[in-house]
Chain A
């Protein structure tokens, strides 16, 4: 029997997801033996025309990481959708928009101006900015078009499964690959990670008090986080209550609060709104009846960047998707 064909592709991402593939260590040899890799731009040289020449659905599964912000990325993922039986959104950026999704606080213009004209370390006296088309010595050069708005993978093409995380941890990757090889897959649309909140699996969950309230919010550098105590209970915002588990609690074990990269559990439409709701409900509970509206404003304004905090990984997948463009 012919080996199933597998593709890896990257869009707007940092490259961490590619490393995560290698983090499965020796298992990668087993995978490489069981499948035929037809595309993996970071590691192997394949051309677009090779993929175009394939029959529709010929690739068993394409793992695509990164969010979509260039027309070239849109073209590629649409091509892969046509040629693949299954599409797996690999990592937070493909799944929710991820860190590149924070670009949705800006427009193309503000980003290009910042990067090519305003950054203090810049050496660009002529103010050259990237163009989709340029003519040089009679040759026409082209670059992909940069969009105003970053999109998730499933806002661009239909996606069958999601592997969450920034990046997805090795055990979840291996489980997903094995499930695909064995054909033992859950219903389409499933996020291939436990459907539980991080707090449910957190190593310090037993120290999380039944009634938790925060009056003075602290940032991690302002205190020495006690490794045996719930971080939220120490007054530091931890995204655990509003984030899906499955990451192995690596941040918590490194004494850092969760930042939400796994996205929400099933049924939540807007992860940021849920996290905001959670934090606002536990802030300043003591003496709440004595607070004036002004006091409340001061209290909640301790979160100086609510949109960036709550949508750190999920702005493009949120209900509002981006900052309004006037």
Chain B
């Protein structure tokens, strides 16, 4: 927990074939991780529709991490290349909407990279804690 008591909520999308297995490995290896994240397993990082990321922010996530297989290793061939382009374009769009680009991150984590999963999570949670809570859109001024 940070000094001001802010506990970030982090949503982590993990692809079934690499990153979820990597997360699992981190767990069974008993690697210590900060606890403020929830994993959502998707079949592929290419399944992560940008709307899912926006939905997570809309529902109160302070940061979203998308994790997939390393380039060349996607179970479906090219899902992670699509994810890379989508998240890059989405980052541009979030910036226009006044949202810090650091709140969205894409990482390649293989099934054997338990330690990388651990360090990515810890580092991302630290970064979001620094940034503070995601500021939801304020209501219309004067709206009854």
Q: Is A307 a contact of B97 with CB atoms below 8 Å?
A: yes
A79, CB-defined interface residue at 8 Å: no
A276 lies within 8 A of B140 (CB) = no
C-alpha gap A283/B141 in the complex (Å) = 40
CB neighbours (8 Å) of A326 from chain B are 98, 135
For the complex, is A105 an interface residue (Cβ under 8 Å from B)? yes
* Chain B residue, CB-CB nearest to A149: B140
Interface positions of B (Cβ within 8 A of A):
49-51, 53-55, 57-58, 71-72, 78, 81-82, 84-86, 88-90, 92-93, 96-99, 135, 137-144
Contacting residue for B138 out of A145, A270, A280, A325, CB 8 A:
A325
Expressed in whole angstroms, the minimum distance between the Cβ of B109 and any Cβ of chain A is 16
Given contacts A149-B137, A283-B85, contact A277 B51 (CB under 8 A): yes
User: Contact residues of A with B, CB < 8 Å?
Assistant: 69, 71, 74, 105, 108, 145, 147-151, 268-270, 272-274, 276-277, 279-281, 283-285, 288-289, 291, 293, 296-297, 299-301, 303, 305-308, 310, 318-326
CA–CA, A284 to B88, complex, Å? 13
The answer on a CB contact under 8 Å between B85 and A300 is: yes
Which residues on the A side are within 8 Å of B96 (C-beta)? Answer: 105, 305-308, 323
Give the distance in Å from the alpha carbon of A277 to the alpha carbon of B88 in the complex: 11
On chain B, the residues within 8 Å of A325 by CB distance are 98, 137-138
A296 touches B49 (CB 8 A): no
Bound-complex Cα distance A229 to B70 (A): 37
User: Do A269 and B93 touch (CB < 8 A)?
Assistant: no
Residues of B close to A324: CB separation below 8 A: 97-99, 135, 137
In the bound complex, what is the Cα–Cα distance between A272 and B49 (angstroms)? 11
Supposing A296-B88, A324-B135 touch, asked if A151 and B140 sit within 8 A by C-beta, the answer is yes
Which chain A residue has the least Cβ–Cβ distance from B143? A147
- Of chain A, the residue at the smallest CB distance from B49 is A277
Partner of A289, one of B51, B55, B81: B81
- For residue B97, which residue of chain A has the nearest CB? A323
Question: What is the CA–CA distance of A115 and B78 in the complex, to the nearest angstrom?
Answer: 48
Q: Which residue of A lies closest to B92 (CB)?
A: A306
Which one, A145, A288, A291, A322, contacts B142 given CB within 8 A?
Answer: A145
Given contacts A280-B89, A305-B96, A323-B97, contact A148 B140 (CB under 8 A): yes
CA distance A296 to B83 in the complex (A): 11
With A149-B138, A273-B53 known, 12 other A-B pairs at CB within 8 A are A147-B141, A148-B140, A269-B51, A276-B90, A277-B50, A280-B85, A300-B88, A319-B55, A319-B57, A320-B97, A322-B97, A326-B98
Tell me, rounded to whole Å, the shortest Cβ–Cβ distance linking A195 to chain B.
18
Q: Are B98 and A318 in contact (CB-based, < 8 A)?
A: no
B140 surroundings in chain A (CB, below 8 A): 69, 147-151
- Name the A residues within 8 Å of B51 (CB-CB): 268-270, 273-274, 277, 319
With A and B bound together, what is the CA distance between A296 and B99 in angstroms?
21
Q: In the complex the two chains form, what is the Cα distance from A274 to B141 in whole Å?
A: 29
CA distance A248 to B92 in the complex (A): 33
From residue A315, how far is it (CB to closest CB) to chain B in Å?
9
Residues in B neighbouring A320, C-beta threshold 8 A: 54, 57-58, 97, 99, 137
In the assembled complex, the CB of B99 is this many whole angstroms from the nearest CB of chain A, namely 6
Contact (Cβ within 8 A) A299 B85: yes
Residues of the B chain whose Cβ atoms lie less than 8 Å from the Cβ of A74: 143-144
Residues from chain A with Cβ under 8 Å of B97 in the complex:
105, 307, 320, 322-324
Q: Are B82 and A280 in contact (CB under 8 A)?
A: yes
Q: How many angstroms between the C-alpha atoms of A274 and B71 in the bound complex?
A: 24
Of the A-B pairs whose beta carbons lie under 8 Å apart in the complex, a sample of 6, sorted by A's number, is A149-B138, A277-B86, A279-B89, A303-B92, A319-B58, A326-B135
Please name the residue on chain A nearest to B84 by beta carbon. A296
Residues of B within 8 A of A297 (CB): 88
Q: Is the CB of A273 within 8 A of B82?
A: no
